[in-house]
Amino acid sequence: MIPVLAFVTLLQADSIRPVIRAVRVADGAITVDGHLTEASWHLASPAGGFRQREPEDGAPAQDATEVRVLYDDAVLYVGIVARTRPGGRVVARVLQRDRLLAADFFGRPQFGPDDAVAVVLDAFHDHRNAAIFATNPNGAEFDALLTDEGREFNVDWRAVWSVRAAPLDGGWSAEFAIPFRTLRYPAGTGEQTWGFNVARVVRSHNEESLWTAWSRDNEGLHRISRAGHLAGLSALPRSGLALEGKPYLLAEGEDETGIRDARLKAGGDVKYEVRPGLTLDATVNTDFAQVEVDSEQVNLTRFDLFFPEKRDFFLENAGIFEFGMRAAIEPPPFLLFFSRRIGISDSGSVPLVGGARLTGRVGAQTVGLLDVVTDEVIDQARTNYAVARMKRDVGASSYVGAMLTDLRRDGGYWNTAGGVDASYWPSGLLNLQGFYARTAAAGPGGEGAAYRLAADFQADRYGLTAYTLGVAPDAVADLGFITREDLRRYETFGRVTPRPQVLGLRKIDVFLDVNLITGWNGGFQEWNSGPGFSFEWQSGESLALFGFTGKLRLDEAFDMSDSIPVDPGDYDNQIVGWFGNTAPQRPVALNSSGSILRSFGGTVTSAQASFVVTPGRHIRVQLGGTRSWVSLPNGSLVADLVTARVILAFSTRATLFLLTQYHSLDRSVSANVRFNLIHRPGSDLFLVFNELRGSDNSLWDFDRRAAVLKLTYLTRL
């Protein structure tokens, strides 16, 4: 009875969603220049009535926004007029692509340092998944994919589209031109209704407003089920062969301790729309030489470090393959599939012979199939990686799903893992999640289970999350990521959010976290509990303080940072820490974090600070450093990381990236220089230079150097 009532409630809420109608115009009627001056724009009725999410929940936006939608036989156009209040000002320092939004503490989208508008398109109207297109007054481009109402926010998705912005008296305007070829939507010539929403941020006074889903009671840009409707779309086009190819040519030279090598390489990707909404991607002789190097880290834990995926082939539609649990400030406790297991070994990169991926929608199902073959290298035989994923829509925004991963390596080794999962929304404030998985592998061991049950209730003034997670001792997921086996974890996280109108505060979050970890078969392992306080000011500054106390039982010894032995035993745990930043829209912004841990019979301290300087839209400089102090009974160390990033955005399509890193423990200094020119939509020219120096004798001793020239060219048929 409860699911039926919840479904009826969602249907009733859906029926009162606001509607905007798209108007068909003649091909070529719109010139994308940021000025909504063509007569066609006056044919479309504007959508307005934006309401604030911040600072006054539900109040009419003080800075008015109007939205219009047009389309022709090839392109969807969205025109936005963003007005500012009398005396208001426009903040626009970003020109680089993909810098306008980022993931917040919980992995959901949040706006960056500039004034910006973001358009949400749920073309299949499944109330869970959508594409986001955003821009600022400079016309900078941003695109991303949202999966399962913000469970996965993929900012690395790159679509083929264009946008232009222009100044107005008392504001600015923008024109989005999104080819239907870029989008995936249902078949049929009749009228379609898509999910649609628009959000705007005004940085001069940090006002965030939305067309709909503006409530702070667990709504926002990521809540696709609370979006409005885009109506009026009919007889949408279908491409001729629904085929596109993206070949590449690469020239690379390497010099490693006097051994020089040069090579020419060719390969490419092919994309084919098997049926509306279902896409087949194939890759041959794939190369990721243009990808930015990983950021250096110092490991002060007994667990593996986690580095995010950055390679294009694995990033598109990555949310479909999400199965397991991620964490906010620690490595994921359990992922059934983690794409960095493919093509990367302990000795470095592993050549990809080829691969294919089938992803998209089939009726009420979301499906994902992946198969990749990697070549033989020194420490790894030729390997085949296969993944199958399915999700079935339930109601308006819930799903049930299943996943299977399989690894087969020459020589007879194999590892298979599979499981089922679900996400259910009985109301807009409450989400219930769970999964169960099992693993099996060649040889002794490798057979184990993992599970999670979770409830997450979030409203403006309070929130409560509770879950239990278990990972068996012999669980092995070679295609996934497991931080820690042999555990059962129980955790409750509560929040109260008062909004006192004093000292310029916007809100205060008061947290309390309690967690207990036992072995899979019982027996104490660890417990921690403690409060946290987060302060956010109307100006954009924020500060968070936290403290925990508990106990830890260490059953096995480990080496901290591969240098200091830590003996088994029972230890007290006390940790205090902070996160803080100044307002991101300032020309000079400061970020800082740190913690002091008393455990393992000693003290582990870490502090980080970085300055971000943005004197204008063409340049951004970030200087940062981290120092870690470790003092334990079996040894001590001091580790320094220093990072310098410089971004020169010559235009929205030409950017130079410079990254320099110093790691004191490795006694190394590295440089990564990348130039990216988008010479036509979807096609790139990359120039990349990497150098590493350092040894026990001298920081400037040469280690290795590489230079890469890569050209890609997108063709659509």
Q: What percent of the chain has pLDDT over 90?
A: 75
Average pLDDT score, the chain: 92
Write down how long the chain is: 717
pLDDT beyond 70 at 365 = yes
CA distances from 676 to 649, 650, 708 (A): 10, 10, 12
What integer is the mean pLDDT of 235-247? 85
Contact 538, 545 (CB under 8 A): no
* Rounded Cα gap, residues 663 and 695, in angstroms: 11
The pLDDT value recorded for residue 157 is: 83
Most confident of 56-70, 233-247, 306-320: 56-70
Look at 287 and 610; give whichever has higher pLDDT. 610
CA geometry: angle at 336 spanning 334 and 338, to 5°?
Answer: 95
Alpha helix (H) residue ranges in 445-559: none
pLDDT beyond 80 at 8 = no
Domain 15-233 CATH (choose: 3.10.450.750, 3.20.20.70, 3.40.50.1370, 2.60.40.1190): 2.60.40.1190
Lowest-pLDDT range, 325-329, 385-389, 678-682?
325-329
CA distances from 663 to 129, 197, 291, 429, 669 (A): 40, 45, 21, 45, 6
What integer is the mean pLDDT of 342-353? 83
CA distances from 252 to 288, 654, 693 (A): 12, 21, 19
Place of tokens 């009733």: 12
pLDDT beyond 90 at 87 = no
What integer is the mean pLDDT of 505-521? 96
Beta bridge partners of 250: 265, 710
Look at 10 and 129; give whichever has higher pLDDT. 129
Would you say the C-alpha torsion 99, 103, 104, 105 has a positive or negative sign? negative
What integer is the mean pLDDT of 401-428? 95
What integer is the mean pLDDT of 252-256? 91
Closest CA to 219 of 62, 63, 54, 329: 54
The pLDDT value recorded for residue 528 is: 96
pLDDT confidence band for 43 (50 / 70 / 90): very high
The pLDDT value recorded for residue 562 is: 87
* Rounded Cα gap, residues 548 and 550, in angstroms: 7
Closest CA to 408 of 436, 372, 367, 354: 372
pLDDT beyond 70 at 611 = yes
Q: What percent of the chain has pLDDT over 70?
A: 97
Look at 710 and 16; give whichever has higher pLDDT. 710
CB within 8 Å of 687: residues ≥ 6 apart = 673, 674, 675, 708, 709
- The predicted model scores a pTM of 0.89
What integer is the mean pLDDT of 397-411? 95
- 430-472: pLDDT as tens digits: 999 999 999 999 887 789 999 999 999 999 999 999 999 999 9
- 133-168: pLDDT as tens digits: 999 999 999 999 998 888 888 887 888 999 999 999
CB within 8 Å of 698: residues ≥ 6 apart = none
The pLDDT value recorded for residue 38 is: 94
CA distances from 228 to 87, 315, 688 (A): 31, 28, 43
318: phi then psi, degrees, rounded to nearest 5: -60, -30
pLDDT confidence band for 379 (50 / 70 / 90): confident
User: What's the 3-state SS for 14-34?
Assistant: HHCCCEEECEECCCCCCCCCC
The pLDDT value recorded for residue 52 is: 96
The pLDDT value recorded for residue 487 is: 95
The pLDDT value recorded for residue 444 is: 79
pLDDT beyond 50 at 101 = yes
The pLDDT value recorded for residue 277 is: 85
pLDDT beyond 60 at 624 = yes
Closest CA to 529 of 511, 549, 510, 544: 549
* Rounded Cα gap, residues 436 and 83, in angstroms: 50
Would you say the C-alpha torsion 327, 331, 337, 343 has a positive or negative sign? positive
pLDDT confidence band for 299 (50 / 70 / 90): confident
Amino acid identity, residue 675? Answer: F
pLDDT beyond 60 at 11 = no
Pair type for strands 569-581 and 588-599: antiparallel
CA geometry: angle at 432 spanning 426 and 434, to 5°?
Answer: 145
- 181-219: pLDDT as tens digits: 999 898 777 899 999 999 999 999 999 999 999 999 999
